[in-house]
Amino acid sequence: GCYNETTDLPNTTGARALSGGTNLVAAGNMTVETCWAFCRTGAGDASGGKTASFKFAGLEYARECWCAQTLSSLSEKLPDGACDLPCEGNTTQACGGNLKLTVYMASAASTRVAWAAALVTVGAISLVVI
């Protein structure tokens, strides 16, 4: 689903909607699958440590991937159309927008997930659009 970024909200001290995790910028190459794989590989967290995987993956500005264990309660669900930037690596996928995140959450319920009209297998974990 589409959620607002929280960096510009009052009293957040610039904290992100997906904070405490890690991020990846893949100019020209970002896709939902790229972001999801990055967030599931146990990339380093903000403290420089490692984690087995992150629960949330969010895409922003068509090329940024943000990973975290939680989604800020200050981040509100927006209409899906508000995340209007296509991913630079696959223009059929939504990759957030200006201060807007397309957010996915890990779920062990299934090994398949629907993105638009396509079913994609992502290991033993499925991605749920929240």
48: which DSSP letter?
A: S
pTM (2 d.p.): 0.78
Specify whether the CB–CB gap between 112 and 121 falls below 8 A: yes
Residues 22-73: tens digit of each pLDDT: 999 999 999 999 999 999 886 555 555 555 589 999 999 999 999 999 999 9
**Residue holding tokens 């995790």?**
21
Residue-wise pLDDT for 81-91, tens only, equals: 999 999 999 99
